[in-house]
Structure 1
């Protein structure tokens, strides 16, 4: 009898231990994405969407479903800007307040990933996310891409409402859409309009390598300052674009607004999620829009398409046989009428991927496969290496069992401090960093990513070796 009880006790203890261990593992790994595609994550989660695959409705147009389903997943983003020294003295902050700005963002996964515009968070030292229900989080910047004006943020939260990706390729002129954002700090504002045009280039983005992509969806939905980063959705409540700009001479809405198509957003978000930076595949050509004047000058037999001015040596285009004077008319079977359209279709692909290019030469169509390359001519994509030695200090990840003992969701151990910025800031060995500029830190890889995007004064929070809370500022 005693032997039986002992065996039962051992079995129960093992079962309980396995459950506790699993819970501890989930707690530690829960904020580390096991996926590299936001769309893949969305498809695993049930969302309340209309089952009808059509975006057109018989009878009266109804905006209620889309507005009701999307509004909880559109957030207000508040940013603080301030370079130079960081002071822990409240009086200094009062006498020299940092500049503030605001915009919008869209939750695209249940575990806290948010898409917004790069210009909304550019140079921000602190990013605060305010939910539709007034809940607040400090966000960390996962990655940014100025060439498309997009950025990916992450907040530490679970079971969030999110907006499912739609298909911007099937949009038609005159189709109804809704713009949802926070103009003039007016939270959760919904406006309606129609698709006015596609693949618009309005010349607002700049890139040091001239790789900016402007292929905007143009609508007449009212969009104002503060709407940037907000959602453009169809009547099913699916995300078809990220509102980014307005055409105006006054700074306020004047009839037209512009959104980045979700077809491009999806690819950029997956790049930032997996690599922390965009992986651009390039043909390596210098191009112009074809119009009637250019067609006359170059004696072309088409008045639409993309004229190849020059081909870079060793580029994907040169290898595939494309030459100066050719006119590109389609990418992967999709007709392109100008530079904006072509750049968008090419930008959806990563280095090393092959695309079919259709071009005209001597009044004849040609089809070639071109393997895209990076700006430096290579095709290899590398994930950033984790550096455990930063500015004179060595860092270590903390085991999930230790985090559980400390009742922490994440953190990084400052193992050794030698000469450098950390020692100058007064950092002590065995200090556990839990937050940087109020945003939670999970591990050393997280620390690398966040500090790479910081400059100026940075606020560090965490625990001392004796368990007491600590805070200090470091110049980065």
Structure 2
């Protein structure tokens, strides 16, 4: 969950005392302090009078909070409390009894010159079509709160967002474009892909149309819609182009293959849609690189997200994730050189439930997967995650029985069958 601190810091106190500078006016009475005090009083009276007039015209209400706080509301009060949060926290459930799938639509075929109309919409038309399908998501726990965006997937309340938007939240509130608020429950969430599905109890919602992200090319128009910074900015629409496709970004020791765009993406846009020129959602906005850079936004391609989202709806999690069944750490170049061993993943433990337990030992160094060098943990995870549980991969292993002698170790090639990651969590 993204946390933002929008606190305030009072100005340093300024002490008003007697001046060290004396003003002397020959043959005139010194009335300066009296005049200054009179002007100050007049200004204060004017401010108070204007404030009282404004309050009398707008109306004022005192609204108590359940924790003893009060708020003074000037202007229209709809009867709600400014302290209100979602009444019920999200109930994490293992999938749903529903089955839902995402249909990815191809762009309309070019039947005439590309200069002529081929189903492409203006930015105004895209905003009018897609904005009703974009929601704001308010999240909170005991200590903090945050804000994100989401995409209405089905008319009966399934909503797509990012895992990091709802991760750890005890209260999730969905705000529709109309301003209606609903308490949401978590259907499923996956940290590795940074995808999540939540649900609200509502019907006849304006579901988004999803497009084929594989059809996107560099230079295509791209529109991002979301709720940056504050709920009052919900529905913010920005436009740019597809800057790159299949961009590998290292995040939390894993490599994510994303769409890059220069459409502005800010904190709060996470979970919102990246849309093509036909009004089809082709990506889920996920991150912006660095506050000091502009025009570096990234989205999860819909063709990547489709299968994961459908698994989250059915099972509440992604099943069949591949695992080798070991734990260990990467040896950096300095450590490897100091110990006269190759660069790779040093194995510290092998789990008995795994197929690797037969042939891999603690102390082994895994240097390659299917012939490709392992230079860091993101590379190891990427090579492993290209497969599914049940697949067999070939590991190249360096084994030194005695690290303290001067004899070199041996290099082995071992076939290992990947297991379901769920088996490790059951240990």
Question: Which category of TM-score, normalised to the shorter sequence, fits these structures?
Answer: 0.5 to 0.7
Tell me the CA shift for residue 63 of structure 1: 5.0
Instruction: Report which stretch shifted further, 170-179 or 124-133.
Output: 170-179
1:282 maps onto 2:320 in alignment: no
Q: Which residue of 1 aligns with 2:115?
A: 59
**Distance (whole Å) between structure 2 residues aligned to residue 149 and residue 359 of structure 1:** 28
Closer, same or farther in 2 for the Cα pair 1:299/1:32, shift >3 Å?
closer
Closer, same or farther in 2 for the Cα pair 1:288/1:355, shift >3 Å?
farther
1:374 maps onto 2:425 in alignment: no
1:222 maps onto 2:267 in alignment: no
Tell me the CA shift for residue 174 of structure 1: 4.0
Deviations 1:35-72, CA, capped at 9 Å, x for gaps: 2xx42xx44xxx99854399x99228955365444322
Q: How does 1:250-261 map onto structure 2 within 5 Å?
A: 250=292, 254-261=294-301
**Distance (whole Å) between structure 1 residues aligned to residue 375 and residue 220 of structure 2:** 21
Closer, same or farther in 2 for the Cα pair 1:133/1:378, shift >3 Å?
closer
User: Secondary structure of the equivalent of 1:249?
Assistant: coil
- The count of corresponding residues between Structure 1 and Structure 2 is 303
For structure 2, the residue ranges without an aligned partner over 5 or more in a row are: 1-94, 398-412
**Distance (whole Å) between structure 2 residues aligned to residue 348 and residue 147 of structure 1:** 13
- Which residue of the other structure, out of 161, 164, 181, is the alignment partner of 2:226? 181
CA contact under 8 A between 1:308 and 1:327: conserved in structure 2?
no
Closer, same or farther in 2 for the Cα pair 1:341/1:273, shift >3 Å?
farther
Deviations 1:404-463, CA, capped at 9 Å, x for gaps: xxxxxxxxxxxxxxxxxxxxxxxxxxxxxxxxxxxxxxxxxxxxxxxxxxxxxxxxxxxx
Closer, same or farther in 2 for the Cα pair 1:242/1:135, shift >3 Å?
same
Q: Which residue of 2 aligns with 1:245?
A: 287
**Distance (whole Å) between structure 2 residues aligned to residue 170 and residue 337 of structure 1:** 32
CA contact under 8 A between 1:140 and 1:155: conserved in structure 2?
yes
Closer, same or farther in 2 for the Cα pair 1:116/1:145, shift >3 Å?
same
Tell me the CA shift for residue 214 of structure 1: 3.4
Closer, same or farther in 2 for the Cα pair 1:234/1:318, shift >3 Å?
farther
Tell me the CA shift for residue 77 of structure 1: 1.2
User: Secondary structure of the equivalent of 1:78?
Assistant: strand
CA contact under 8 A between 2:148 and 2:269: conserved in structure 1?
yes
Tell me the CA shift for residue 168 of structure 1: 4.2
Tell me the CA shift for residue 129 of structure 1: 1.4
- Computing the radius of gyration from Cα coordinates, the structure with the larger value is 2
Q: How does 1:10-159 map onto structure 2 within 5 Å?
A: 33-35=97-99, 38-39=100-101, 42-43=102-103, 50-52=107-109, 58-59=114-115, 62=120, 64=122, 66-82=126-142, 100-159=145-204
Closer, same or farther in 2 for the Cα pair 1:337/1:355, shift >3 Å?
farther
Closer, same or farther in 2 for the Cα pair 1:371/1:243, shift >3 Å?
same
**Distance (whole Å) between structure 2 residues aligned to residue 173 and residue 324 of structure 1:** 40
Deviations 1:228-266, CA, capped at 9 Å, x for gaps: 11112333444332212212235xx62201223334433
Closer, same or farther in 2 for the Cα pair 1:158/1:218, shift >3 Å?
same
**Distance (whole Å) between structure 2 residues aligned to residue 298 and residue 190 of structure 1:** 51
Deviations 1:163-190, CA, capped at 9 Å, x for gaps: 3444445554444432221223322223
For structure 1, the residue ranges without an aligned partner over 5 or more in a row are: 1-30, 84-98, 301-306, 381-476
Closer, same or farther in 2 for the Cα pair 1:217/1:53, shift >3 Å?
same
Q: Which residue of 2 aligns with 1:273?
A: 313
Closer, same or farther in 2 for the Cα pair 1:373/1:119, shift >3 Å?
closer
TM-score by length of 1: 0.49
User: Secondary structure of the equivalent of 2:151?
Assistant: strand
1:193 maps onto 2:241 in alignment: yes
- Report the structure, 1 or 2, having the larger helix content: 1
**Distance (whole Å) between structure 2 residues aligned to residue 240 and residue 320 of structure 1:** 44
**Distance (whole Å) between structure 1 residues aligned to residue 205 and residue 222 of structure 2:** 23
Instruction: Report which stretch shifted further, 262-271 or 218-227.
Output: 262-271
